[in-house]
Homo-oligomer: A and B are copies of this chain.
Amino acid sequence: MRLDEIAKALDCELRGAPDTEIARVWPIESAGPGDLSFIAHPGYVRYLATTQASALILTPEMEDVELPTLRTPEPRLAFARALRLFYEPPPRREGIHPSAVIAEDATIGDGASIGPHVTIEAGAAIGSDCTIGPGVAIGRGVRIGDRFRAYPNVVVCEDVTIGDDVVLHAGAVIGDDGFGYVPSAAGRLEKVIQVGTVVIGDDVEIGTNTTVDRAGVGETRIANGAKIDNLVQIGHGCEVGEYTVIAGQAGLSGSTRVGAWCQIGGQVGTKGHQTIGDLAQVAAKAGVAGDVEAGAVVGGFPALPIGTWRRATAGFARLGEILRRLRRLERAVGADDSSDGPP
């Protein structure tokens, strides 16, 4: 593709030869002739002098280089779109594979691609242009919008509601039981049956082997545009706001309400029955017990404002030293503490 065509498609300013031929979009570390690459992060500026790429996407402010460039305030976004220009999706299976078992009263829209060994139970309704991979199981009464995409072995349990343009990655399970038991007088644990459901909005993507529990009563809700990574656990009755991003292996305990446009880091845990406000950021591995204000940035376990946490962790590494200094001071002052054991 010619560079001027790409510039037009990506809405970038073109500097340099418009007829430069681009065959591929590739990261700058290993880009070669015919490649279009980008620099969004100062750490990669060092590659500018040596790259073999044929063209680069840069911000307007960056200096001119010998290579032709596309200029945009958002190089990463332009790169993502350039990838799409060159992307050829794998061919799609036509129609419904004969091994799929689909209940008579299930309804499926036009343009369906349904793989082998799929099960779709009674009363399920799926919109148009779905792509359902091998081994997927869709439960009774599930309602799903248009352009649904489920990778192999996804499970959607009964009565779950899913919007348009939703992607579920392999092995994800939506609508399994929440986790609730009550000790009974008979000395057993009695299950609190989980009679609620899950409601997922439009444009949601849910990662591989991630689990989203149905509510005990009422609904677990994932709002439009939310993106959830792999191996995440969403407990019963949680709410995840619009365009909130949750990274891998994070876990939201029951009834955690996360606002819109939040960023929840990998391996984060929440205690449950709490609110995380819009635009809040929770750093990876944090453990969050209480509410988090809108726009706050917290980290650590228990979670602290991120600045406090950074200072505290710097001090943490010096705890051996702190104890030594305390002991010396006590000797100097003659206030030695007999409760202090050997250092």
Which A residues form the contact surface with B (CB < 8 A)?
25-27, 30, 74, 76-77, 79-81, 83-84, 86-87, 90-91, 97, 99, 101, 115-117, 119, 122, 133-135, 137, 140-141, 151-153, 155, 157-158, 169-171, 173, 176-177, 179-185, 187-193, 195, 203, 205, 207-209, 211, 213, 216-218, 225, 227, 229-231, 233, 235, 243, 245, 247-249, 251, 253, 266-267, 269, 271, 284-285, 287, 301-302, 304, 308-309, 311-323, 325-326, 328-330, 332-335, 337, 339-340
Contact = CB atoms under 8 A, between A and B. Distances in A.
A325 B312 contact: no
A285 B312 contact: no
| Residue among A86, A184, A211 with max Cβ neighbours from chain B (10 Å) | A211
B332 A189 contact: no
B302 A313 contact: yes
Contact of A189 (B97, B245, B308): B245
Given A157-B170, A176-B151, A325 B340 contact: yes
27 contacts: A27-B217, A84-B193, A87-B193, A87-B195, A91-B122, A101-B117, A116-B117, A153-B153, A157-B170, A170-B173, A171-B171, A173-B209, A176-B207, A181-B245, A209-B209, A251-B266, A266-B269, A269-B284, A271-B284, A284-B287, A302-B313, A308-B320, A315-B320, A322-B326, A328-B337, A329-B333, A332-B333
| Residue among A176, A203, A311, A332 with max Cβ neighbours from chain B (10 Å) | A176
A183 B225 CA distance: 11
Contacts of A325: 326, 330, 337, 340
A320 B329 contact: no
Contacts of A319: 311-312, 314-316, 319
Nearest to A179: B229
Given A74-B182, A77-B182, A137-B133, A173 B171 contact: yes
Given A173-B170, A285-B287, A320-B312, A209 B207 contact: no
Nearest to A29: B218
A218 B80 contact: no
B177 A152 contact: no
A118 to B, nearest CB: 8
Contact of A115 (B119, B217, B323): B119
Contacts of A195: 83, 86-87
Contacts of A330: 325, 329
Nearest to A323: B315
Nearest to A93: B121
B323 A322 contact: yes
Nearest to A246: B179
Contacts of A285: 269, 287, 301
Given A87-B195, A179-B248, 15 more contacts: A27-B218, A76-B182, A86-B195, A99-B99, A116-B119, A135-B135, A171-B211, A176-B208, A179-B227, A179-B230, A267-B267, A285-B287, A308-B320, A312-B316, A315-B322
